[in-house]
Amino acid sequence: MFNGSATTTGRFEHPLNEYKGVVDTRIVLDYYDADPKRGFYGGGGIDARFRFGPIGFAVNGLPDTVPSWGLEYKRALRDYYSHSTQFMSHITSLPVATNQITLDAEHPDRWGRPSFCLTYQDHPDDTKAKLWFRDRTHEMMQAAGASDVWDQPVLPIDGGVHLLGTARMGNDPRDSVVDRFHRAHDVPNLFICDGSSFVTSGRGQPTMTIQALAFRAADHIARFAKSHAI
């Protein structure tokens, strides 16, 4: 699984200089809890951030309404880079049984080993959530007074930096890889303590949840060792 997201960018009349300083995350949690009235499961947080360096913004930051080449492009780039910010949501990503990582022997790496092949499709609820949250980030940007507002297209996820799932936690070895203590069902002395044990993505940055689960697993490993269970 990956974290779903929806993003709206806005340009303001006054300089923001958002490329300076520290990025604050999850500053709007009004929509964190699930609400069945929305028509999908889950929720998420929204933050205001500007994640672009100059080159990244020049390639992917400007709206489609400005020229993409020439003198007007340069003028727009100079203006928009210092006057823009983004509202970005991080949303629940649900598991899909067919999503998986396999080995691809037909495309080996430079050492001749099979490469990884990702098979991934968004859960229908994830797409609904992205569309709903995109509307919220758009509304927030307009309410903040942006003079120009544009949305990032809602597209199927094809990658990300939060790598979650594939060794899910559960009681039944038939549909899970590790037990409640992060101990592998099939390999008694193997403990997997990272984001792969997640059963959903959560609704934000997963790092602190991974850390908490790892500390918890370490306590159980010590307990098992003292009782000679490993």
Domain count within the chain:
2
Q: How far apart (Å, rounded) are the C-alpha atoms in residues 178 and 157?
A: 26
Task: Using alpha carbons, list the distances in angstroms from residue 25 to 50, 104, 126, 200.
Answer: 11, 37, 21, 20
Q: How far apart (Å, rounded) are the C-alpha atoms in residues 119 and 139?
A: 34
Mean pLDDT value of segment 211-216? 95
Say whether both 194 and 140 belong to one domain.
no
Range of the domain at 166: 162-230
Say whether both 54 and 135 belong to one domain.
yes
CB 144 within 8 A of CB 1: no
Say whether both 22 and 80 belong to one domain.
yes
Say whether both 147 and 166 belong to one domain.
no
Tokens at residue 96, please?
Answer: 């899909």
Query: Residue 114 domain-assigned?
Result: no
Query: Residue 117 domain-assigned?
Result: no
E strand or H helix at 143: helix 124-143
Q: Residue 24 pLDDT more than 80? A: no
What per-residue confidence (pLDDT) applies to 37? 94
Say whether both 142 and 168 belong to one domain.
no
Q: Residue 184 pLDDT more than 90? A: yes
Mean pLDDT value of segment 98-120? 93
Query: Residue 113 domain-assigned?
Result: no
The pTM of the full predicted model, rounded to 2 decimals, is 0.87
Query: Residue 110 domain-assigned?
Result: no
Query: Residue 65 domain-assigned?
Result: yes
When the pLDDT of each residue in the chain is averaged and rounded to a whole number, the result is: 92
At 29, the amino acid letter reads L
What per-residue confidence (pLDDT) applies to 158? 81
